[in-house]
A and B are shown apart, each in its own frame.
Chain A
Amino acid sequence: MHTLRWQPITSLVLSIFGLGVSIYLTLTHFSSAVTLSCPAGGGVINCEKVTTSPQSYVFGIPVAVLGLVYFIPMLVLCLPAAWRSLNRWIHLARLLLSVAGVGMIIYLISAELFTIKAICLWCTSVHVATFLIFVVVVTTTPVVLSWGETIESADYVDAAEGVGSE
């Protein structure tokens, strides 16, 4: 049983899911057909309040678009071929992107909780996907790049063999 049997497919599925939701949120953001209204009997769950808030822009870029900017390269980096790659920069890029992603969701969660005071379930699903990708990537990359104790380097051999080969 190899180390990287389930991680590549898991990260790929999560990336596809996150990309799909990001596409939806981006279309919603730019779609003029969206009906605006205040929620009747609503509560904390208020996607529109979140997606139309000032915090829905970071550096002048809609957060939904930033989701695309995150998930498109992440999807590429989570393809089985990328996981099999011997180019350490690919694995480092995946790691850095996942760290950036989880940093972003911490900011967005705090903005939702304390500034916007509303939660968007679509956004939350993206947050969960981003976090799970982070878990997969951050716990796998040390193995792939042979960080830590020496025995880990042996796993890289198994990993490189295991991805896509079993």
Chain B
Amino acid sequence: MAENKRAPGGGNTPKPGGNTPKAGVSAKDRSRQQSRPVSAKAPAKKSGPAKGGRGGGAARPPVKGKADARPKGPSGALMAWGAVAVVIVVVVVLVVVKVTSGGPASAAFTPVTPAPTGVVSAVTNIPESVYNQVGVTSSVQVSPPLSLSNQPILMLDGKPGMLYVGGEFCPYCAAERWAIVSSLSRFGTFSGLKVTASSKTDVYPNTNTFSFQGSTYTSPYVTFQAVEQVSNIPNGQGYYKPLDQITKAQQDILNKYEQPPLDPNATAGQFGYPFVDIGNQATITGPSYSPGILAGLSHSEIANGLSDPSNPVTQAIVATSNYISASICASTKNQPASVCQSSGVQAAAKSLASTAK
């Protein structure tokens, strides 16, 4: 604290060469000439214009008087720039280590394997009572699809259509697939379903799910097209290896329904997974529920819980499924009635109607 009292007072009083502050250039020159021999003891370090411009240190008696009592040590500036250099080196080392480290190991992803029969059976045969009991009531927050109005019904292969675009790595897609499989199974039949898990390194890692890649779906009411654009296998460049190619017609659908104004939450030019167009009557452009509720649960554990309407995971999946079913029913003219007139789907339809734009 002593320095605080000293410095300003001393500084204001004895200006360098400063007994004649308006001495002009000649006075400065004289000062420089006088100070040159003095400052020669440490000429190189005094690089700042704050020092040289004032005529050197010789003309600062009060300030220097106390300062000279201080032991000389490493330059403060040297230490400071050393600290900056250390930080830069640390960051550079981190980046270099990251860049030069090998690509992800082959075990850095969950392989895609045929879905166990028991899992498929449990998901595609959820009791009607569970659908109706849950309706859209869930202890886990469930977001309804974005309900559209005045849009022509999406027709695919002569039937009302549903388009899914996603990626196997995507945890939000992982959560959504459980509801998509269960809902579509009320309108038709899946075959060739596979199981996998979302990326091990993304958010909600290892969320167990299905993969639509290579599966087929048949229904007298609705055509389902699924595009798994990328796998869950890291490509070594921060993303994942490609899988299905999207067709131009499918991309046109994304360009219209996953972009403003029909998707008011979207950013123009940006696309995300999952995207589900349900007959142009509703779209899903993000997770209907948090994949976090599936954390640590195996395929079998999730599937076996689907007969329990009090299970929070079941509630989230079934409520989402009812929303999807209600949206499908909006494009199939409420066919089949056994599904579309069920109380669970009706509850979802009522909820969607209240949010329609």
Q: Give the docked Cα–Cα distance between A154 and B35 (Å).
A: 15
CB distance from B255 to the nearest CB of A (A): 12
Q: Give the docked Cα–Cα distance between A44 and B90 (Å).
A: 21
Q: Which of B45-53, B119-127, B208-216, B300-308 contacts A (4 or more CB under 8 A)?
A: B45-53
A-B contacts counted at CB < 8 A amount to: 180
Q: Give the docked Cα–Cα distance between A33 and B72 (Å).
A: 59
A118 beta carbon closer than 8 Å to chain B: yes
Nearest A-chain residue to B169, judged by Cβ: A38
CB distance from A81 to the nearest CB of B (A): 14
Q: State whether A154 and B57 are in contact (beta carbons under 8 Å apart), knowing that A86-B4, A110-B94 are contacts in the complex.
A: yes
Nearest A-chain residue to B84, judged by Cβ: A135
A143 touches B76 (CB 8 A): yes
CB distance from B288 to the nearest CB of A (A): 11
A152 touches B76 (CB 8 A): yes
B286 touches A155 (CB 8 A): no
Specify which chain B residues have a CB less than 8 angstroms from the CB of A45 in the assembled complex.
Answer: 238
Specify which chain A residues have a CB less than 8 angstroms from the CB of B173 in the assembled complex.
Answer: 38
A146 touches B67 (CB 8 A): yes
Segment 61-97 of A: residues with Cβ below 8 Å from B: 86-88
A60 beta carbon closer than 8 Å to chain B: no
Q: Give the docked Cα–Cα distance between A38 and B95 (Å).
A: 25
Specify which chain A residues have a CB less than 8 angstroms from the CB of B171 in the assembled complex.
Answer: 38
B285 touches A37 (CB 8 A): yes
Segment 148-196 of B: residues with Cβ below 8 Å from A: 165-167, 169-173
B271 touches A41 (CB 8 A): yes
Q: Give the docked Cα–Cα distance between A98 and B49 (Å).
A: 26
A102 touches B87 (CB 8 A): yes
Q: Give the docked Cα–Cα distance between A43 and B84 (Å).
A: 31
CB distance from A93 to the nearest CB of B (A): 14
Q: Which of A13-21, A22-30, A157-165 contacts B (4 or more CB under 8 A)?
A: A157-165
CB distance from A35 to the nearest CB of B (A): 4
Specify which chain A residues have a CB less than 8 angstroms from the CB of B78 in the assembled complex.
Answer: 148
A36 touches B287 (CB 8 A): yes
Specify which chain B residues have a CB less than 8 angstroms from the CB of A1 in the assembled complex.
Answer: 49-50, 53
A138 beta carbon closer than 8 Å to chain B: yes
CB distance from A109 to the nearest CB of B (A): 6
Specify which chain B residues have a CB less than 8 angstroms from the CB of A38 in the assembled complex.
Answer: 166-167, 169-173, 202, 272-274
Q: Pick the contact of B46 from A134, A135, A151 — CB < 8 Å?
A: A151
B237 beta carbon closer than 8 Å to chain A: yes
Q: Which of B67, B95, B167 has the most CB of A within 10 A?
A: B67
CB distance from A65 to the nearest CB of B (A): 19
Residues of A within 8 A of B (CB): 1-3, 33, 35-45, 48-49, 52-53, 86-88, 102, 106, 109-110, 113-114, 116-118, 131, 134-135, 138-143, 145-162
Residues of B within 8 A of A (CB): 1, 3-5, 7-8, 10-12, 42, 45-46, 48-51, 53-54, 57, 60, 63-64, 66-68, 70, 72-81, 83-84, 87, 90-91, 94-95, 98, 165-167, 169-173, 201-203, 229, 237-239, 265-266, 270-274, 285-287
- In the A-B complex, the 6 residue pairs with the smallest Cβ-Cβ separation, listed nearest first, are A142-B76, A157-B11, A37-B272, A148-B76, A44-B238, A38-B170
